[in-house]
Structure 1
Amino acid sequence: MFTDWVDTVAKLPPHTLLLVAALLMFVETAVLIGFAVPAESTLLVVGLLGYQGVLPLTLSLPVCVAAGIAGDQVAYWTGRTLHTRRTVRASSRAARYLDRAESLLRGRGGPAVFFARWIPFVRTCMPLSAGASGLPAPVFTAYSAAGVVTWMSTNVLVGYAAGGSLAAASRWAGRGAAIACFVVAAGVVVLIVRRRVRRSDRQQDDLSELKS
């Protein structure tokens, strides 16, 4: 499937290919039909063609990132305006992933928007759920932009690092994102632990001052 998709888009003229890639990045989260969008594969293709000199990464990556951020904003404000999820059947796959996105938001708030970008299908639902939940726009925008930039850059660079090899890119499809997500998650855990240790130290200092 990956090879078929590469063969299809690689035949397009460079500017048309970039337009298609940007449109797919936008649609993936702007509308729920984004479930069917091969976003990750498209980014790998962008990286592959960047290595081959067909698409300059200095142009294609910023365009894709901008389109992804725009798609997130459209979905967020749709959810914020309607204050509800779009009409979906309770038994549908979209409904299940909306539930998962809402669960992440309740447990993590802003950081859930970032981590959802690394989870297939959930990232399609998260902006809409974030808007409907009333998550403040500045918080959503910050975490959304961070997620889009890191996730897209990772996939494009994996495609580029494959050295133009379709077999290598296909083999590594998804692995680069998973590794990056693990690294980011580990960093977040370290920050949370350090914050709690500092809070505990401050509480102990306050108790010591009260006793004295």
Structure 2
Amino acid sequence: MAPPLPGPLAHLAPLLGHYGYWAVGAVVLVEDFGVPAPGETILIAAGIYAGAGRLNIVAVAVIAFAAAVVGDNVGYLIGQSGGRALVHRWGRYVFLTPERFHKTEEFFTRHGAPIVVVARFIEGLRQANGIIAGTSGMPWRRFLAYNAIGAALWVGLWATLAFVAGAHITALYDEITRYQLYALIALAVLAAALVGRHVLRRRHEN
């Protein structure tokens, strides 16, 4: 039996214990066609749980990969069939405003097909990736190939790092707890220094 998860992670145990794989698939899927859902966060959380023995890391990775590819292809179909008019009318409901869409589309067009791979790791681009590929007229087979590569790299990176962290979660949490006071003091000093610098700069300008 896997050891209990420490600290705040323990409160997530019932959710991931009952719905872990479904949660990973559903959240990654909807994030990838524009819904502002925490796909990357749920993947990392599931990887940590897998490292702690609560989930199977292979299943987590396979489900996340499939959901990422399918989700982006749903986005591609939305972009291809509805085009910019659909995005301009409904995009604001998923935080994809016309201005944000236009800037993202320009960036996407400027860098070509390889940006599909890179976009997987960039917040904002990850959610709009498939939609913009569809509106820009990228051939579906090319998009599918680059999308699959990006999804594999994205899932592989975060699932591996989270799995390793999860395998040592108790030790990591003990270390964080041990040094959290020093970390808070350091952050307070840094914040004070930044505020002081800002005040001195304002006085100098005046």
**Corresponding residue for 1:131?**
134
Match of 2:96 among 74, 94, 97: 94
- The Cα of 1:167 is off from its aligned counterpart by 9.3
**Corresponding residue for 1:78?**
78
**What letter corresponds to residue 43 of structure 2 in structure 1?**
L
Q: Which runs of 4+ in 1 moved over 4 A?
A: 166-169
Q: Deviations over 1:68-114 (max 9, x none)?
A: 11100111011111232522578x95224422321222111111111
Q: Cα gap change, 1:89/1:64 in structure 2, threshold over 3 Å: closer, same or farther?
A: closer
| Larger of the two Rg values belongs to structure | 2
**What letter corresponds to residue 119 of structure 1 in structure 2?**
I
Matches within 5 A, 1:55-74: 55-74=55-74
**Corresponding residue for 1:165?**
169
Q: Deviations over 1:134-172 (max 9, x none)?
A: 000011111111111111221111111213428959x9x
Uncovered stretches (5+) of structure 1, i.e. residues with no partner: 172-212
**What letter corresponds to residue 67 of structure 1 in structure 2?**
A
Q: Deviations over 1:106-142 (max 9, x none)?
A: 1111111111111012210121011011000011111
- The Cα of 1:26 is off from its aligned counterpart by 0.2
Matches within 5 A, 1:11-26: 11-12=14-15, 14=17, 16-26=19-29
Q: Quote the Cα distance in structure 2 between the aligned partners of 1:9 and 1:151.
A: 23
Contact persistence 1:114–1:144 (CA under 8 A):
yes
Contact persistence 2:47–2:60 (CA under 8 A):
no
Question: Identity percentage over the alignment?
Answer: 24
Higher relative contact order (CA 8 A, sep 6+): 2
**Corresponding residue for 1:46?**
46
Q: Quote the Cα distance in structure 2 between the aligned partners of 1:151 and 1:16.
A: 22
Matches within 5 A, 1:96-111: 96-111=99-114
Q: Cα gap change, 1:18/1:108 in structure 2, threshold over 3 Å: closer, same or farther?
A: same
**Corresponding residue for 2:32?**
29
Q: Quote the Cα distance in structure 2 between the aligned partners of 1:105 and 1:7.
A: 40
- The RMSD of aligned alpha carbons is 2.6
**Corresponding residue for 2:204?**
none
Match of 2:123 among 101, 120, 123: 120
Aligned pairs, how many? 163
Q: Per the alignment, in what secondary structure is the counterpart of residue 114 of structure 2? A: helix
TM-score calculated relative to the size of structure 2: 0.70
